[in-house]
Amino acid sequence: MIKKSLGQRIAELRKTCKLTQQDFAEKCGYSVEFVSLVERGVNAPSVAGLEKIAKALKVEIKDLFDFEKGGGK
């Protein structure tokens, strides 16, 4: 459940930043396939990965877990 919510939140923030999965993957140092798996809730990034993702999205790590804001932004 948390992987799916996290993935949806990351996808939402990525789209807000107007980044494609390809652009986002390059900023994070991940493959597009991994980004897709994360956004679908299949895989979850490590703590270090969360740091990379937050930096690429210009947010704090805690903002990735602000699921209540999902869909409302």
User: Domain 2-65, what fold?
Assistant: 434 Repressor (Amino-terminal Domain) (1.10.260)
Residues 5, 12 contacting (CB under 8 angstroms): no
- Residue 69 pLDDT: 63
- Residue 67 pLDDT: 87
- Residue 17 pLDDT: 97
- CB 29: neighbour CB atoms within 10 A? 10
Three-class SS of residue 20? coil
Three-class SS of residue 27? helix
- CB 73: neighbour CB atoms within 10 A? 9
Domain map (residue ranges) of the chain: 2-65
Mean pLDDT of the chain: 93
- Residue 1 pLDDT: 85
Q: Which tens digit of pLDDT belongs to each residue from 22-40?
A: 999 999 999 999 999 999 9
The parts of the chain modelled with pLDDT lower than 50 are 71-73
